[in-house]
Amino acid sequence: MGQLSLKNVVKTFGDFEVVKGVSLDVHEGEFVVFVGPSGCGKSTLLRMVAGLEHTTSGDIVIDGKRVNDLAPVKRGIAMVFQSYALYPHMSVYENIAFPLRVEGAPAKEIRKKVEEAAAILHLENRLDQRPGNLSGGQRQRVAIGRAIVRQPEIFLFDEPLSNLDAALRADMRIELTRLHKQLGATMVYVTHDQVEAMTMADRIVVLNGGYIAQVGAPLTLYHKPENTFVAGFIGNPRMNFMPVNVLSVSDDGITVDFQGQSLTIDVDVPADRRAALVGSQVSLGVRPEHISLGAGDATMALTPTVVEHLGQLTIGYATLPGHEENFCFVLTGTQMIEDDRAVNVSFGAGDCHVFDADGQAFERKIDMSAMTPPVSL
Amino acid sequence: MARKFFKSSETSIMINRYSWRELIGIYCGIAVFLFFMLAPFIEGFLVSLKPLAQLFSSPYSFWPENGSFEAYRTMWISVPSFGRYIFNSLLISVVSTIIVLILVVPAAYAFARFRFKGMALVLGAFLAVSMFSGAVLLIPLFRLMRTLGLLNTYYAMIVPGAAFLIPSAIWLLRTYMMRIPPELNEAAYMDGASQFYTFRRVILPIARPGIIVVAIMTFIGAYAQQFIFALTFNSKTEYMPLPVGLFAYFGKQEVIWNELMAASFVGIAPAMVIIFFLQRYLVGGLTAGAIKE
Ligand SMILES: Nc1ncnc2c1ncn2[C@@H]1O[C@H](COP(=O)(O)OP(=O)(O)OP(=O)(O)O)[C@@H](O)[C@H]1O
Ligand SMILES: [Mg+2]
C-alpha cells in the first residue's frame, strides 16, 4: 500500500496556471524527490497531494482510489512542513500524540506509539519539553514524529531541512534515508538542495514552470538528461552549452565541428531525422567536471577571468566570444593556473551531450552499469 | 512582555545601555508622568484619612493630622447598601466581560483566519461604531430598552455595555490571532483535526494572552461606562452600580468627603484584585518554537 498516481493534474490560482498537467506514478515504498527552480509549483503540487489545496482538474489516485475530495487523514497521508508547524503550547509528547488524540485512541496505545516514534527519532529525553526549548534539528524531528505516529502510507516533505545549518542537514539527510528504509513507506520530498535530491531519491522529478521536465533515477538524470533544462539544472556548476554545426550523422553518432576540430559524439539519432540535421546548428553540452588540462578529443584555449582554488578542486570561469554565460571548468586537485593567463583545456567526446534546436537531447549511448562504481542506496 | 529596559548586568545588549545622564532624564520623565497620574489618588487617599472637620480648615493642610481609618468604618454606616453597589458593579462588569468574550473570541478567529465577502465592510463598521461612545446614542437606546422592557433591570446596564465593547475587542483580538501561524491550522488539518477541535486545542491556548488582554480591557471598559447606562436606564436603587452609589455620600447639606474617598478606594479594590489575578496569566512568547521565523 502507498501507491500514488497523479493523472494530468492542473492547478490554477485565478487566471494563473501554476501546475499545468502533471502525470506521475509513484510506486509503493519509493522515495521520490521533486526539484525545480523557485516558483515552479513544487509546493503547490505537494499540497494538492496532501489535500491542502483543491485540484483544479485531473485526478489524484492513492492505492487505486480517487482521493481528490478526501480529507488528508482519509488519504493515509502525513506531511512535514518546512516551518515545522509544531504546537507551541504542548510538550513534545503531546505534539507527537496529537494525531492519535484526534483519533481518540486509548491512552495506553498513545503512550506506546509515541514512545516508539520517539525512540526512532532519538527524542526519548525530550518528551516533556516545549518546542520552544528545542534546537532546529530536534524540532524537525518532532515534526517528523508527529507524522510517523499515525503510520501513514505516504509521507510528504516540503523542504524539511532547508531551515537547518549545513552540518545538521547532512545528519538529518542520513537519518531520513534510514527512516525511509526502516518504515518502508512511500515518501515524496520537495527540495532545493541537489545533494539531498541526488543522495536520497530513488527517482527525481524535475519540474519546470508547472510541467515535468524529466523523471528518472538520479544518475540517469545526470548522465542522460532529456533536455537542456534538466542538463543545466542537475549538476553543479551548470553544464556548459556551446553552439556547434553538424558535419554528418551516422550510426556512430553525430559529428560536429567544434572550433575547427571534428568531434564524433556517440548518440542515437532516429534515421528519419538524420538528413535534416546535417548542416544545422545543435547545442553541445559538456559538464565542467569533465574538462581537464592539456590536450584531448577537443582542445580549446581559454583565458579564465576568475579562478577559485578550493584545494580539493580548482574552478575556473572564462568568457567565450559571442557567449553570454561563463564557460566553467572544474579541475580536480590544486592546479597552478591563474586568472587572465591562457590555458589549454580539453574534454573527451564520450562526455559530451548533444541537444537539438528545441533543446531536446539525443540519447547518449552509454552503458550506465559499466561506469564508475555503482552508488548503493 | 517582561522585557527589562534597565539591565545593568554585563549581559545586557548594547542597545539597552544608557549613560547616567540619559538614565536621570528617563527617571525624571517617569516621575513627572507618574505624579500627574497618581496625584489625585494620593490626595484622595489622604482625604480619606482625615476627619471631616479638617477638610475645611484653613489654611488647608495637605498631610492629615491625627489621621485614622475611621472613615473606612463609618462609610458602611452612612450608606448601608454600599456593599450592594459594589456587588452590582462587579456583576455588571463580569457578566459583560463574559458575554463579550463568548462572542468575540470565535468572531475574532473568523475574521483572522477566513476570507469572506463583506469582511472589510463589517470590520470597518466595527471601527466606526467603536468611535461613538454610548452616550451619543442614549436616547435611541432608551427607546429600544423601553420597547424591549429592559428598563430598570440588570440587562439594561449589561447589554448596551457589552455591545459597545465588542467592536474594539474584535479588532484587538483579531490582530493577535492573525499572528498565529496558519501552518498550525494546516498541520492540525493534516492530523485529522476538525475546525472546531483545532480552534479549541490549538488556537485558544495559543491566543490565551490575547484573550486575557481583551478580558482586562473589556472589564475596565464595562466598569467605567456602566454609570451612563445606570443613570439613564435604571431608576431602582438596588440595581445601582458603584459610581452611582457613590452619590449616596452627597448628603442634603454636605458631602461626606472623607467617607466618599474611602468608599471609592474600597469600591475599586475588588476590580483591582480581579485585574491583578488576570494579568498573572499574561505570559508572553507562547508561540515560541511553533515555526521557524
Ligand atoms: N494561494 C496562492 N494564490 C496565488 N498564487 C499562488 C498561491 N500559492 C502559490 N502561488 C503561486 O504559485 C507559484 C508556485 O508556487 P509554489 O509555492 O508551488 O512554488 P515552489 O516550486 O514551491 O517554489 P519554492 O521552491 O520557492 O518553494 C508561485 O508563482 C506562487 O506565486
Ligand atoms: Mg515551496
Is A371 contained in some domain?
no
Atom 18 in ligand 1: which residue has the minimum CA distance? Answer: A41
Cα separation, A210 vs A194, in Å, equals: 19
Q: Which atom of ligand 1 is nearest to the CA of A42?
A: 21
Query: What average pLDDT does range B188-206 have in this prediction?
Result: 93
Residue A376 pLDDT greater than 50, yes or no: no
- Does residue A300 sit in the same domain as residue A212? no
**Tens of pLDDT, residues A47-89:** 999 999 999 999 999 999 999 999 999 999 999 998 889 999 9
A265 shares a domain with A161: no
pLDDT given at position A377: 40
Would the CB atoms of A89 and B188 count as touching at under 8 Å? no
Which strands sit side by side in the sheet containing A291-293, from one edge to the other?
A291-293, A343-347, A298-302
Which of B120-136 are b and which e, b meaning 16 or more Cβ less than 10 Å from the residue's Cβ?
eeeeeebeeebeeebee
- Return d(Cα B176, Cα B223) in angstroms, integer: 24
Confidence of residue B247 (pLDDT cuts 50, 70, 90): confident
The domain boundary, picked from A213, A229, A245, lies at A229
Residue A207 alpha carbon, nearest atom of ligand 1: 21
Span B93-97, mean pLDDT?
94
Q: What is the rounded distance in angstroms from the CA atom of residue A22 to the CA atom of residue A212? A: 6
Q: Which residues pair with residue A4 across a beta bridge? A: A26, A62
Whether residue A147 sits in one domain with residue A64: yes
**Which residues form the domain of A9?**
4-229
Beta bridge partners of A346: A292, A299
| Statement to judge: residues A60 and A203 lie in one domain | yes
Q: Which of ligand 1's atoms lies nearest the C-alpha of A159?
A: 27
Domain termination residue (choose one: B47, B68, B89): B68
Q: Which of B280, B108, B281 is nearest to B179 (CA)?
A: B108
Q: What pLDDT is recorded for position B2?
A: 43
| Residues B24 and B129 placed together within one structural domain of the fold | no
The verdict on A58 and A174 lying in the same domain is: yes
Number of domains comprising chain A: 2
Look up the CATH number of the domain holding residue B126.
1.10.3720.10
State the amino acid at position B26 in one-letter form.
I
Per-residue pLDDT of A212-260, as tens digits, reads 999 999 999 999 999 999 999 999 899 999 999 999 999 889 999 998 8
Tens-digit pLDDT profile for residues B181-196: 999 999 999 999 999 9
Closest to A86 (Cβ–Cβ): which among B201, B205, B289? B289
* pLDDT of residue A177 exceeding 50: yes
User: Ligand 1 centroid vs B279 CA: distance in angstroms?
Assistant: 42
Q: Which residue segment(s) compose the domain that B15 sits in?
A: 2-68
CA distance, residue B197 to nearest chain A CA (Å): 8
- For residue A117, what pLDDT is reported? 92
In a domain, A373, yes or no: no
Domain boundary among B68, B89, B120: B68
Q: Pick B289's closest partner by Cβ from A71, A99, A130.
A: A130
Q: Are residues B64 and B83 in the same domain?
A: no
Indicate whether A132 and A265 sit together in one domain: no
Provide the CA B49 distance to its chain's centre, in angstroms.
Answer: 27
Longest dimension (CA), chain B: 77
Distance in Å, CA B176 to ligand 1 centroid: 26
Q: Which of B68, B96, B117 is the last residue of a domain?
A: B68
Which of the four pLDDT bands, split at 50, 70 and 90, describes residue B286? low
Predicted confidence at residue B78, as pLDDT, reads 85
Domain boundary among A211, A229, A247: A229
- Integer angstrom CA distances of residue A319 from A297, A325, A326, A327: 21, 7, 5, 6
Do B268 and B243 sit in the same domain of this protein? yes
CA pair distance A58, B15, nearest whole angstrom: 56
Examine residue B74 and state whether it is found in any structural domain, yes or no. Answer: no
Are residues B216 and B89 part of one domain? yes
pTM: 0.82
Mean pLDDT of the region A322-351: 90
CA of A211 to the centre of ligand 1 (A): 14
Residues in chain A: 377
Q: Please report, for the domain that includes residue A274, its CATH number.
A: 2.40.50.100
For residue A50, give the nearest of B190, B206, B287 by CB distance: B190
Total count of domains within chain B: 2
Residues enclosing ligand 1, CB less than 6 A?
A 13, 16, 18, 36, 38-44, 192
Give the distance (Å) from ligand 2 centre to CA of residue A97: 27
**Which pLDDT score is estimated for B14?**
63
Say whether both A203 and A254 belong to one domain.
Answer: no
Q: How many angstroms separate the CA atoms of A96 and A143, rounded?
A: 8
* B245 in the same domain as B104: yes
Domain check: are A196 and A274 in the same one? Answer: no
Tell me, yes or no, whether A178 and A244 share the same domain: no
Residues in A whose CB is inside 8 Å of some CB of B read 50-52, 71-73, 77-79, 81-89, 98-99, 101-103, 130-134, 136, 139, 146, 150, 163
